[in-house]
Structure 1
Amino acid sequence: MPSSPVHLLLAYRMADSLNVKNKADFLLGAIAPDCVNYGQEQASEKVRYTAHIRDKDYDIWKAKLKAFAVDNAEKFADKKDFLRGYLFHCWSDIAWDEAVQPKIFEFLGTLGYGYDDMTKQKWQELYRFNSLAVKSKEYAECTEFVKQGKPVDIAGCSAELISKYAEYVADDYRDKILDEKPLFLNDAHIAATVQQMNEAGYSEELAKL
């Protein structure tokens, strides 16, 4: 799963193709599920899975996302792009896990890391990649949009917590950045995730909201 800066760049690049009208709400939604980790390294699995409308079985996870979109369409009729952004986060988690994460693990294996070290080292590599992502002109525009977005309660995440997390991502995020050159990740992996979103039909699910 990508970091919040990567989620923002993905959302920024795909917004127009997904029929997004309110980019501020969309980009805010695109980081909102991770608000449950705010102030800690990681929330419990139960809390994270609720926020991400998730299941360990990816086929079930995909079905749950589709059902959530249908069940909440009326509730979020006036906040459609926030809902679209929230679901974008989850769909792009899946696309990243399918298109990029296996390659990260394969690379880490060539460095001699074993199974028990993979998850920690994966995040270290993402933190290195964050150091590049947050310096881009695109990212500066993303954070301005995020500050303008209006959160609402959704999937176990309160509007208040989403707002706090958005401020943290836009103005701080220092503890999730390693000022080192990435060993593996680059912009091509963002492009690969976009391609997976489109080819696997996840973009279509979002565009039709």
Structure 2
Amino acid sequence: MQTKLKLAFSLWLIFVVFNFLNCSGSDDSDQIEELRLVEIIIDSSNGDRLDLSGTASTFLSISGLDQYAEEYIINGTISWTSNNFNASVSQTGLVNALEVGVSIIQVEAEGVTASFTISIWDSSAPRTEIFVSEVENLNDPPYKILRYFADGSYSEVFTNQNLAWPQDIVILEDQEVVLISNLNTGRITKYNLNTGGYIENFATGRNRSTHSNENWYR
């Protein structure tokens, strides 16, 4: 009888120990991973282009994502730097344009970095600008109009809005307007010369009559 009791007790003890070890292992494997910052997103109050004779500053703000792609509150020290002297940046994220060119603004927080590229130009400076229609896939977008300074000091995507196989480019400098004809839609679209923003359709129903690749110069 005692032998049977000892055997039963031994089996019970083994069962208890086995379950304890299993529970301990389960707790370790199910432990929630500590949240950490894995990505920083930068937002600019005035876009990615500054004008020395116009809007010459912008405020950069950041938000964070954790390893589960959820919002992460950044509590650590935030450090801002600029890669050159074309623009300065304060430790509050205020960027000031200093010279024509391109600057890369970098932010670092909790060991994670992100960068934001800002183009700087001077809308009042005398210059020659070259506008180029970029069509990569003919019938398929994206389409772009590129703007270059003739001396090579600056380049940008002037616009990619409301384009459909863009053809002729006409500059109306006295009105600060750019007209672009579009082969696929038969429309002539109007844009702000300084910002590249779409204004309206200048004309419609052109029946695909435009086919020139000639570019005009400012």
**TM category, shorter:** under 0.3
* Larger RCO of the pair (alpha carbons < 8 Å, separation 6+): 1
Relative to its length, the structure with more helix (as a share) is 1
After TM superposition, the score normalised by the length of structure 1 is 0.19
User: Quick check: which one's strand share is greater?
Assistant: 2
